[in-house]
Amino acid sequence: MDHLNEITLDELHEALASVEGNQPTQRLLAAIAYKHGVTQTELAKWHDTGRRTIYNWLMRLDTDEPLDEAVTDNHRSGRNRKLSEQELDKFRKSVHESPQEAGYDEQAWTTKLVRHHLMETYGVDYSIPSCRRLLKEAGLSYQKPRPENAKADPEDREEFDETLKKTAGRWTPQ
């Protein structure tokens, strides 16, 4: 490749010393190996990828920008959130309060209740796993009912059983 003739091994080593992350490091190491005579086919085997990928890595170096920037990917923001930051803050505050304060006849938050709440309040539909993630991000943890304590006072056990029936498998603040 002609464009690698314009780049010295010293420049590649300098760029290698200044980059962070696995991908940029791999790309520069492939370029250094290529400059030492390793073929694209061999590099593809070493990096467990295709020849076309190696070719693209080497072509990235044919640019006017610094080498450490040429081998680094641009930031990918991903999908936008369904809720704005203000709505997320409001949601987080609401799940730290009782569902009864939000107008629901429940003792504790469940993922199904959160899903319903998000649809009713904000008009957005989240999956159950996403509701679980939102609850975790809000600082809540999933509480499973535990076996009863045999040494507990019978009156306390009755009260516990009643509470357990109302809150079993619910999300509660940590």
Are 65 and 123 members of one domain?
no
Residue 67: which pLDDT band, with cuts at 50, 70 and 90? confident
d(Cα 84, Cα 72) in Å, to the nearest integer? Answer: 30
pLDDT in tens, 127-159: 999 999 999 999 988 877 666 666 777 777 777
d(Cα 143, Cα 138) in Å, to the nearest integer? Answer: 15
d(Cα 30, Cα 14) in Å, to the nearest integer? Answer: 15
pTM here?
Answer: 0.48
Q: Token pair of 129, please?
A: 């796993």
Are 63 and 134 members of one domain?
no
DSSP 8-state secondary structure symbol assigned to residue 123 = -
pLDDT in tens, 95-138: 999 899 989 988 888 899 999 999 999 999 999 999 999 999 99
Are 40 and 90 members of one domain?
no
Q: Is residue 75 part of a domain?
A: no
Mean model confidence pLDDT for the chain: 85
Structural domains counted in the chain: 2
Are 19 and 99 members of one domain?
no
Q: Provide the residue range defining the domain that includes 25.
A: 2-70
- Domain termination residue (choose one: 12, 36, 70): 70
Q: Is residue 78 part of a domain?
A: no
Name which of 30, 31, 121 is nearest 82 in CA terms.
Answer: 121
